[in-house]
Amino acid sequence: MKAAAYYGPRDVRVGEVAKPGLERGDVLLRVRACGICGSDLHTYRHGLFEDLGVPVEAGGRVMGHEFSGEVVEINGEAAGVKVGDRVCTVGMGGNAEYYRVPAMMSVALLPIPEGISFEEAATTEPLATSLHAVNLAAPADGETHVIIGAGIIGLGALQVLKATTSVRTIVVDISDRRLEVARQLGADVTVNAGREDPLQKIVELTGPEHMSFMPVMTGRADTVYDCAGLPLDYTGTPVLQQAITMTKENGKVVVVSIFEKPPELEINLLVRKGITLYGSWAWSFDEFRHALELIGSGKVDRKPLITHTFPLDRASEAYETQLKAEEAVKVLILP
How far apart CA 191 and CA 172 sit, in angstroms, is: 5
- 37 or 110, CB closer to Zn ion? 37
CB of 266 to Zn ion, least distance (A): 31
Q: Show the 3-state SS of 8-32.
A: ECCEEEEEECCCCCCCCCCEEEEEE
C-beta closer to Zn ion: residue 37 or 240: 37
Compute φ and ψ for 99, nearest 5 degrees: -140, 130
The span of 29-37, 111-119, 269-277, 323-331 binding Zn ion (CB under 5 A) equals 29-37
Nearer to Zn ion (CB atom), residue 227 or residue 275: 227
Residue 63 near Zn ion by CB under 5 A: no
Residue 143 vs 287, nearer CB to Zn ion: 287
Give the binding range for Zn ion (CB under 5 A) out of 32-40, 164-172, 201-209, 219-227: 32-40
Min CB(136)–Zn ion separation in Å: 17
Contacts for 198-206: CB closer than 8 Å, 24+ residues apart: 198/148, 198/172, 198/242, 198/246, 199/237, 199/242, 199/245, 199/246, 202/146, 202/170, 202/172, 202/246, 203/245, 203/246, 205/144, 205/170, 206/144, 206/246, 206/248
Count of residues near Zn ion by CB under 5 A? 1
Query: Of residues 182-211, which lie at the interface with Zn ion (CB under 5 A)?
Result: none
Q: Are 131 and 287 in contact (CB under 8 A)?
A: yes
Residue 41 in the binding site for Zn ion (CB under 5 A): no
Site string for Zn ion, 94-123 (x = CB under 5 A): ------------------------------
Find the shortest distance in angstroms from Cβ 124 to Zn ion.
10
Contact residue for Zn ion among 4, 37, 62, 228 (CB under 5 A): 37
Minimum Å gap between C-beta 36 and Zn ion is: 9
Spell out where 174-215 has E strands.
189-192, 209-210
**Which residues lie across from 2 on neighbouring strands?**
16
CB-wise, 12 or 170, nearer to Zn ion?
12
* Paired sense of beta strands 247-255 and 276-279, if any: parallel
Q: Which residues on neighbouring strands pair with residue 155, listed in sequence order? A: none
In the complex, which residues of this chain contact Zn ion (CB under 5 A)? Answer: 37
